[in-house]
Structure 1
Amino acid sequence: MSFNIAIDGPAGAGKSTIARAAARNLGFLYVDTGAMYRAIAFSLIRSGVEPEDEAGIEKVLESMTIRIVYSDGEQQILLNGENVTAFLRDEAVGNMASRSASNPKVREKLLQLQRDLAKENDVIMDGRDIGTFVLPDADVKVYLTASVEERAKRRYLELIEKGQDADMEKIKEDIRTRDTQDMNRSIAPLKQAKDAVVIDSSKLTIPEVMDRIVDAFQESLKLKG
């Protein structure tokens, strides 16, 4: 029987970084669902389709294939056979993903793939609605959050490190907008699962957050006997 850990939380809370680290520590498969939604968003942008264009989205999805492969332990996203992983952290792609994720066809495209991965493997899966919608029976649920200021700072430093221009106030504005979109969408909105362990990472190091997740995993193992 597989063991599943679900990590939810707002954009920039550190979900992907923490989930990768915890997956390596526990020997689990890491599934970045946000990257999967970003792949669809990237395809929509490339095709010139707006998130409100339901017919256009459905047409793009009809011929789209998304695969997850692993290279040196890192998840890679193949969109129609093309590795698009390097393009998925662009701010415009993230905003499009947040807007298009409310489309039921987009969610349907990815939901079964995500659940099949969790059924067949010990996984750590992160996103916006993993513990509440995708894997409601996950063995461990974590709601990872951080202040808007801290999340903006992390994103700012990430962009600067890549040699890209960055405006702190614009990043804060984008984060607040995405939070509102994610929390108020009609289908599977971002919210804390009732049985989730809440971790505010604003003042914690990556090892400190990871230790809390590993502790929750070990406690769950004890309860399962």
Structure 2
Amino acid sequence: MITSQSFDSERCFIEKKYSLSANLMKMARDYGRKIGFNGTFLIEPKPKEPMKHQYDYDAATAIGFLKEYGLDKEFKMNIEANHATLAGHTFQHELRMSRINDMLGSIDANQGDVMLGWDTDCFPSNVYDTTLEMYEIVKNGGLPVGINFDSKNRRPSNTYEDMFHGFILGMDSFAYGLLKAAQIIEDGRIEGYINKKYESFETELGKKIRNGETSLEESTESLLECI
């Protein structure tokens, strides 16, 4: 039989687990500052490792966790492409979620097979993806930490030649993605489409809703007048 007491017990356990994780992060931060580290601390969302439900499932969950425990001023996101897809998102979605919250710090540049439920961490080769990823990074004004190739060759090999080709593939994919992203931004059409789609947000009613200066009744009356 499930009772309210069992729910309270489960909630208490989860709260303890999260506060423990937060305090461990604070201890790591304090120690880092104590020994002279002045850089940015990074949190990497890692879905399904080691469990289904966790505070760092995706960017939104991890950012909410950091804000809840007052860690968002010194910690930022390290977003990995393959982890984004494991969480059911695209890499660019996770980058944008981090960017608009001013929490984008670094990326692990790789790609996985969206048909699989685990990491393959291959060197990135899809220029369509890297273009959209570099678009977010450019919009972010760059990265405070940088791009890291947490990657390996698709076919298991550790020969110097294969590793060399893998790194060149990844770097060229992101370099070409940067060129295409710059062209998209300079062209301006995508931004124009987005602004057009959400232009109602800038109307008098839209601003009042965004600023919390209206009620549901008043909003409904205003919308009915437009019909």
Q: Calculate the TM-score normalised by the size of structure 2.
A: 0.28
Structure (1 or 2) with the larger CA radius of gyration: 2
- Higher normalized strand content (fraction of residues): 1
Greater RCO structure (CA 8 Å; 6+ sep): 1
Q: Calculate the TM-score normalised by the size of structure 1.
A: 0.28
